[in-house]
Amino acid sequence: MFGWEFPPHVAGGLATACYGLTKGLAKHNVDMIFVVPKAYGDEDGRNVRVLGAEDVTLEGSVSEVAALWKHMVYFEAHSHLLPYLAPEEFESITSAMTRDGTITHTSHFARRFKFAGGYGKNLLNEVTQYALLAHTIARQNEFDVIHAHDWLTYLAGIAAKKASGKPLVIHVHATEFDRSGENVNQMVYDIERRGMAEADMVITVSNLTRNIVVSRYGIDPAKVQTVHNAVDFNTSSFDDVQRGTDEKIVTFLGRITYQKGPDYFVEAANKVLKRYSNVRFVMAGSGDMLHRMIRHVAKLGIADKFNFTGFLRGDDVPHLFALSDVYVMPSVSEPFGISPLEAMRTHVPTIISKQSGVAEVLRHTIKVDFWDVDAMADAIYGILQYPALTKMFIRLGDREVESLKWDNAALKVKQAYEKVTAKNGKIIAKS
């Protein structure tokens, strides 16, 4: 299994999903090696063996490594790269090995690569180096199936498949159309499309995403399967948290980027405050729109009713949910969206955009179009003003979210493994 990060080193929902899925798969007797670019040593290895790619040596004859390198796609980019978790600038990709003919093809090549362990300016360089090392990792380990999470690891999954001949499953947690709308980064789109094309099976986190994969990437629908995300129930309880204020609290939690719709949250907050004053709005997260949102809140004259927390990690997330009276996810395009499930698990009524994958599995939540700030403001006001509405959503939401467990999602993923490995001539052990 290839991923870009693993708890406790979390930058967003992707790592949370990988963690929940691996725990669920372990309960179904699936043994996993989870490869990250950089392992810190404090990852939770109770259910998986966590392997850092930077601890692996790329080696072989120069001709072998050069052939592998030639197979990798080169990209020259002159725009901002939008990865799944946080938009960052990056430098144009540079060659990691000498190809000018000054060394012989029979010479032995051995090299290790250092990874920043995040989403820094050399991201595309690291994506390619990670793929090169995936080829070595695949040759050094025994396994039945390869599972690659999101576009950053698709080239690694392809390299591992070519090295081993084992089937490849790629997991689409988001697409470039989710991150960038219609202004797609062609380079990222090309990586995504290549990964989908070379995969034996494509798993999407919602039917919304499945439709994008089929219609915008031209992938055969027969090999695209939806497995909805879930929520982890084995976390600390914050039911007795002390609020320290009599004000109601309405929360936005996520990357403060175009995809997540933070500007619509601010506009809805402004409308609510004109009708209901005993409320405070919290925007938790970081991203390229953060400073714009701070300026916008100040311009609207509601800064005294707004808190910006920055990025939250670990127990700070459920702690914030425990303090909240309403959770709002106004995403412009959300492949799934685990945070509403986390909020509902903490007994918080939720308002979500209709343009989200989680809307496919939730009934006891309020759904609005992301752009309809009037409907969003009405929904917030209704929950704040009418306690009976809050009690109803908490009671029904508890029952609903109880069924959305990672064990159930993991079983569907294991069945996908069994399907592709059966085609490959081998069936993994059943639980």
How confident is the model over 160-182, as a mean pLDDT?
A: 93
What is the pLDDT, as a whole number, of residue 183? 85
Residue 95 pLDDT class (50, 70, 90 cuts): very low
Res. 21: pLDDT tops 60: yes
52-65 pLDDT per residue, tens: 999 998 876 666 66
Looking at residue 125, its pLDDT comes to 80
Write down the pLDDT at residue 197: 97
pLDDT band at 66 (very low <50, low <70, confident <90, very high): low
Please determine, for residue 236, whether its predicted confidence score (pLDDT) is greater than 60.
no
> What does the pLDDT look like over 254-273, one tens digit per residue?
999 999 999 999 999 999 99
- What pLDDT band is residue 425 in, cutting at 50, 70 and 90? low
Least confident of 29-43, 176-190, 359-373: 176-190
Instruction: Determine which of 111-120, 233-242, 367-376 has the lowest per-residue pLDDT on average.
Output: 233-242
| pLDDT, tens digit (0-9, with 9 covering 90-100), for 102-113 | 444 455 566 788
Which tokens sit at 284?
Answer: 């938790």
For residue 96, what pLDDT is reported?
37
Confidence (pLDDT) at 85: 30
- Highest average pLDDT, of 64-68, 362-366, 419-423, comes from 362-366
Q: How many CB atoms lie within 10 A of CB 197?
A: 16
**Lowest mean pLDDT across 26-35, 174-183, 403-412:** 174-183
246 class by beta-carbon count within 10 Å (0-12 exposed, 13-18 middle, 19+ buried): exposed
pLDDT higher at 237 or 139: 139
Contact indicator for 334, 209 with CB cutoff of 8 Å = no
Domains, the chain, ranges and CATH? 13-230+407-423 (3.40.50.2000), 248-402 (3.40.50.2000)
Tens of pLDDT, residue by residue over 341-388, are: 999 999 999 999 999 999 999 999 999 999 999 999 999 999 999 999
Average pLDDT over residues 8-36: 92
pLDDT recorded at residue 62: 62
Q: With pLDDT > 70 as the criterion, what percentage of the chain qualifies?
A: 85
For the residues 216-224, what does the mean pLDDT come to?
Answer: 97
Beta strands 58-61 and 108-111 are antiparallel
Query: What's the pLDDT score for residue 61?
Result: 65
Distance CA 331, CA 117 (A): 27
Mean of the per-residue pLDDT values of the chain: 86
pLDDT value at position 84? 35
From 42-56, 71-85, 213-227, 400-414, the region with the lowest mean pLDDT: 71-85
- When pLDDT is averaged across residues 198-207 and rounded to a whole number, the result is 97
pLDDT above 80 (res 97): no
Measured CA to CA, the distance from residue 158 to residue 146 in angstroms comes to 9
What's the pLDDT at 180?
Answer: 84
Binning pLDDT at 50, 70 and 90, where does residue 201 land?
A: very high
What is the arithmetic mean of pLDDT over 33-58?
Answer: 92
Higher pLDDT, 77 or 216: 216
pLDDT at position 287 is: 92
